[in-house]
Amino acid sequence: MLKKNDIAETEIVDLSHEGAGVAKIDGLVFFVDNALPGEKILMRVLKVKKNIGYGKVEKYLTKSPYRNEDLDTAYLRSGIADLGHLAYSEQLRFKRKQVADNLYKTAGIADIEVAETLGMENPVAYRNKAQIPVRRVNGELQTGFFRKNSHDLMPIDDFYIQDKEIDKLINFMRDLLRRFDIKPYDETEQTGLIRHLVVRRGHYTGQMMLVLVTTRPKIFLIEQMIEKIIEAFPNVKSIIQNINDKNTNAIFGSEFRTLYGSDTIEDTMLGNRFAISAQSFYQVNTVMAEKLYQTAIDFSELTADDVIIDAFSGIGTIGQSFAKQVKAVYGVEVVDSAVRDAEQNAALNGITNAHYVADSAENAMAKWSKESIQPDVILVDPPRKGLTENFIKASSAMQPKKITYISCNPATMARDIKLYAELGYKLKKVQPVDLFPQTHHVECVALLVKA
């Protein structure tokens, strides 16, 4: 029986859904970081549990032809790019397999062809948002990323998958905070002022927002700092302070203050303009979000007479991208501020047939049913945990012709599709879309049609 620190020769036979290499030894499944299918390795055992174990590569005996040798391993150790060691064409194949495997294992569906994953032409430097911790490392203020499963900061200059202008602003801020002798947050001691830097950038507009997350309201010499930031980065249109004095992993506290410029920045998606606040949910990969939303629109085959329910409507990005093609869009979102943003965005785009409510989707649909609102398509874009059983029953009860499901988690999507099938909705097609290149995450669009 293998135990900690033993060395075993083994072959990697698969990848886990999180991108770790999978090896099988003596009836145990081992997960090994930075190991790819087909590779023979000497593995050091790190931990053994009842049926599974964890190992690390001690030595590569043979390497995969699909290994990306150029990747800095810091990106693997921090989880920034946990699939970055795999050639991009293989990443796309892996994601398609994830979707197909989940549909088969969970929903018993094998007769629907999962389309090839839609990928990016240039699958790096795509993220339009960064949330970067600020900590002291070896006596000096640093920005970077936490090592996986820890709160040890790894200093990083180039974040690989982030917009390069965002990287430049983060590095500039690191140097500026050092110059102004601003104290970084210390989680253990609960001391210091600056916890995080959050940066957003409009992909098409280039407008930038900088959020300084601090433990208390007063920032010494903030006006002089703002002057330096604007001088170096004229595209910064919004500087916001967020105050988070709690001992928590949550990045933001509840109080936001605009220190410079406006409360929002603007960007466009599928031809519409959107105002984006510090808290807005806005897809981090604009280029691929447009492909994702366009796929959902194409799957829905919308007509001018259609009534659409946009459940989980956020700031209105998807519903407003097709509102002008249909009769009406009814959006529901549980976050009040997002509903206000969606209403503002509708006004910004001259959209008069999109109606938004702040409520749970189940409640909103029950009310709309009473008002005899009959949707042709219900569009869902839930968080990772997927849909609740109540939602699935409530949406089926409205008897739409189609349900278009945008998913960021193929496991919960497959579970939900199985329940929809029991209620008379059959899966017709599935399209994976790579919104998060170099990582194990996969989005996809599924079309369900009333049988």
Extents of the domains making up the chain? 7-65, 96-120+279-450, 129-269
CATH for 7-65 (3.40.1190.20, 3.40.50.720, 3.30.413.10, 2.40.50.140): 2.40.50.140
Q: Report whether pLDDT(202) > 90.
A: yes
List the catalytic residue out of 208, 212, 408, 445.
Answer: 408
Q: Which amino acid is at 268?
A: T
Rounded CA gap, 38 and 29, in Å? 16
Same fold? 7-65, 129-269: yes
Q: What is the mean pLDDT of the chain?
A: 96
Q: What is the pLDDT of residues 207-233, one digit of tens each?
A: 999 999 999 999 999 999 999 999 999
φ, ψ for residue 140, nearest 5 deg: -130, 140
CB neighbours (10 Å) of residue 286? 21
CATH for 129-269 is 2.40.50.1070
Q: What is the pTM (predicted TM-score) of this model?
A: 0.95
* pLDDT, tens digit, 9 for 90 and up, residues 341-385: 999 999 999 999 999 999 999 999 999 999 999 999 999 999 999
Residue 149 reports pLDDT greater than 90: no
Q: At 312, phi and psi to the nearest 5?
A: 60, 55
Q: Which residues contact 343 (CB under 8 A, 6 or more apart)?
A: 316, 356
Looking at CATH, the fold of the domain delimited by 96-120+279-450 is given as Rossmann fold (3.40.50)
List of long-range contacts for 105-108, beta carbons under 8 Å, 24+ apart: 105/414, 106/411, 106/414, 106/415, 106/418, 107/414, 107/415, 107/417, 107/418, 107/421, 107/427, 108/418
Q: Average pLDDT, stretch 46-56?
A: 95
Percent of the chain with pLDDT over 70: 100
pLDDT band for position 423 (50/70/90)?
very high
Confidence tier at 1 by pLDDT (50, 70, 90): confident
444 is a catalytic site residue: no
Give the DSSP letter of residue 338.
H
Q: How far apart are CA 134 and CA 185, in angstroms?
A: 7
The whole-angstrom separation of Cα 29 and Cα 24 is: 5
The mean per-residue pLDDT over the stretch 291-309 comes to 98
Pick from 367, 365, 437: nearest CA to 403: 365
CA proximity to 278, closest of 309, 308, 238, 244: 238
Interval 179-203 mean pLDDT: 97
- Please state, in angstroms and as integers, the Cα–Cα distance from residue 430 to each residue in 113, 142, 226, 312, 423, following that order: 7, 43, 47, 20, 19
Rounded average pLDDT over 80-94:
97
How far is residue 433 from each of residues 96, 120, 299, 444, measured CA to CA in Å? 9, 9, 14, 5
pLDDT of residue 222: 97
Convert the pLDDT of each residue in 424-442 to its tens digit: 999 999 999 999 999 999 9
User: How much is the average pLDDT of 387-405?
Assistant: 96
